Chains A and B, each alone.
Chain A
Amino acid sequence: MNEKTAAADKSQLSDDAIIEITGMHKWFGEFHVLQDINLVVQKKERIVICGPSGSGKSTLIRCINRLEEHQRGSIVVDGIALTNDIKNIEKIRADVGMVFQHFNLFPHLTIVENLTLGPIWVRKIPKKEAEEIAMYYLEKVQIAEQAQKFPGQLSGGQQQRVAIARSLCMAPKVMLFDEPTSALDPEMIKEVLDVMIDLAREGMTMLVVTHEMGFAKSVAHRVLFMDYGQIVEQNTPEEFFDNPKHDRTKLFLSQILH
């Protein structure tokens, strides 16, 4: 993986928060899935969130664009507090891109239509211009020649790259990745990670839930370890992997790094 590039710009962080989560709790019925989460994300910061399944890591990033509703505490994204105000939620969602484990492309639309849907209807960009933007990002994820196909005709890796391009077309300020490579065949993981590394190099603010520890080491500014709905430990990747503090972190690392 591209270690030197990411390492090179890890120092660029300004002290300018884009996401502030304070004392946030969430329950699914009786189940306390997120407990007292406090997290500040700086502009251009790249955070990898890991942890065993059921630890609440996906739920945490889904709270940031309110695909899940939190019950206590506050989440402020780009200066807008997340409340029940649907207009605010839509504004935040337009500025926060999300990439899903199962891609969730729209199967009834062609690739280019998938990419232009948001810009046309949310950003109110004229169709012609939206298509130019779409082609620009498809070039970027190296899939422009598939523009007129339907998602069902593409491989998993290609679909996920389209999904990333679809988010980028909205010119997001933050990108959330929810296990973007977990549903992929092994030989397709690299092509998706490469796109994400490119994105990191350009200074995108990213929150990535993933088990790709190589990616975490080379790209992340900070690694968060979650277990039982809590952020157990957070540190720079070097410290996190070489020198874990918490027993649960050590156990988890020993399990995934074999």
Chain B
Amino acid sequence: MDDAVTKIEASTVKPPVTSVGVLGWARANLFNSWFNSILTLLTLLLLWKIIPPFVNWAFIDSLWYSNSAECRDIEGACWSIIPANLRFMLFGFYPYDQQWRPLLAIILLIGLLFYSRNRAHWKTSLLYGWLIGLVVMGLLMKGGIPGLKPVESTQWGGLPLTLLLSVFGLAAAYPLGVVLALGRQSQMPAIKSICIIYIEMIRGVPLITLLFMSSIVFPLFLPEGMTVNPILRAQVAIIMFTAAYIAEVVRGGLQGMSTGQTEAAESMGLNYYQTMRLVILPQALKIVIPPTVSQLISALKDTSLVVIIALYDILKTTQSTLSNPEWMAYSSEAYLFVALIYFACCFFMSSYSRRLEEELDTGL
């Protein structure tokens, strides 16, 4: 009886005002020591020096739709460079009157990606959806069927090229990486050494080297008159490169698994493939989601290196826009725009990976 009374009284006592609300939070986090107080003040000063001028430049003194001549008279940002050159930045040398085709392909791709976000949709029908989607995207880009004029892949560029290289690069590198990681753990010496040699060789050279080799060295070995599409060559180089890194990340996950899991699976008669597919990989891959996504994000950004083998991805098309004397002065605006596109893609991946981690968390 006595206990109950004291409990009720205790819960009605409020914490002191200084420890709750905005004030309490600021005290606890920003001004809890003289050192932190100084840091807070310095940071505020820095923000005061940076943010208002930036807002001025970007939003107040800026022009959004104008020609380049008008831009010369203003202090602020000339965002007009983007609408004025948008179609070239996004689609490169793709024939102007056909640019609805890559646009449609991109929309289809983004739609499929968003639909695939939900794990409840992961069924066999979704796999068919992707297969059909990929064929449609390919047809849209390449044409050659009645009603669609053929467009050579040498004319592909801009955002479709970046997305093509990244999405296919990541989608192919991931399973290849998993296979390599399993191979490196294999009991069979031949498979094991092939995987180790592959991984260590690829990790030993920069991606730029691989891209140069794919565009300059590799064609030397082809018989006269035979060529391989440069986009395909770059794509293969990116896949090979990313897979080696993914393999090492996945290996970390595999080594983190206790042997008890393998033993439990094997002791009920599951064979090697079943053990890996049903028991080990689902757990190991889950553990390594964070580093895997880091690898995939870095691979996505690395696709911009294809400029060095004269492919016009979105970064290169933007640069080309800037070589036009009319717009030369507005590189900050153009690069900010491209940065925003890259950021959107990377942010999508990292936020999705966080969500996936939460969904797959089973409390152990």
Contacts and interface: CB of A to CB of B under 8 A. Distances in A.
Interface of A: 65, 67, 86, 90-91, 93-98, 100, 102, 104-108, 117-118, 121-122, 150-153, 166-167, 170
B264 A93 contact: no
A122 B269 contact: yes
Nearest to B269: A94
Contacts of B270: 117-118, 121-122
Give the interface size bracket for B toward A.
20 to 34
Nearest to A105: B264
A94 B271 CA distance: 10
A100 B263 contact: yes
Nearest to A151: B364
User: Which residue among B267, B270, B362 has the maximum number of chain A CB atoms within 10 Å of its CB?
Assistant: B267
23 contacts: A67-B266, A86-B271, A93-B267, A93-B269, A94-B269, A95-B269, A96-B267, A98-B263, A98-B264, A98-B267, A100-B264, A104-B260, A104-B264, A106-B279, A107-B283, A117-B268, A117-B279, A122-B270, A122-B274, A151-B362, A151-B364, A152-B363, A167-B268
B231 to A, nearest CB: 38
A219 to B, nearest CB: 22
A122 B268 contact: yes
Interface in B305-364: 360, 362-364
A107 B268 CA distance: 16
Interface in B242-292: 258, 260-261, 263-271, 274, 278-279, 282-283, 286
B362 A93 contact: no
Q: Lowest 9 A-B CB distances belong to which pairs?
A: A152-B364, A94-B269, A152-B363, A104-B264, A107-B364, A118-B268, A104-B260, A150-B362, A98-B267
Contacts of B268: 93-94, 97-98, 117-118, 122, 166-167, 170
Given A108-B360, A117-B278, A67 B263 contact: yes
Given A100-B260, A105-B264, A106-B261, A153 B363 contact: yes
B264 A106 contact: yes
Contact of B269 (A91, A104, A151): A91
B360 to A, nearest CB: 7
Contacts of B278: 117, 121
B283 A65 contact: no
Contact of A90 (B269, B282, B360): B269
A153 B361 CA distance: 12
User: Which residue among A86, A98, A121 has the maximum number of chain B CB atoms within 10 Å of its CB?
Assistant: A121
Contacts of B283: 106-108
Contacts of A93: 266-269
B363 to A, nearest CB: 3
B363 A150 contact: yes
Contacts of A118: 268-270
User: Which residue among A91, A93, A104, A167 has the maximum number of chain B CB atoms within 10 Å of its CB?
Assistant: A104
A112 B267 CA distance: 18
Contacts of B360: 108
A74 to B, nearest CB: 21
B362 A107 contact: yes
Given A104-B261, A150-B362, A121 B274 contact: yes
Interface string B185-204: 00000000000000000000
A162 B268 CA distance: 14
A184 to B, nearest CB: 16
Given A104-B263, A107-B283, A118-B268, 17 more contacts: A86-B271, A90-B269, A91-B269, A100-B264, A102-B260, A104-B264, A106-B265, A106-B279, A107-B364, A117-B278, A117-B279, A122-B268, A122-B270, A151-B364, A153-B363, A166-B268, A170-B268
A106 B253 CA distance: 16
A252 B274 CA distance: 42
Nearest to B260: A104
A138 B143 CA distance: 59
A159 to B, nearest CB: 10
Contacts of A152: 362-364
A151 B261 CA distance: 13
A122 B271 CA distance: 8
Nearest to A172: B268
A192 B177 CA distance: 42
B151 to A, nearest CB: 46
Given A106-B279, A117-B278, A65 B364 contact: no
Given A151-B364, A152-B363, A152-B364, A108 B282 contact: yes
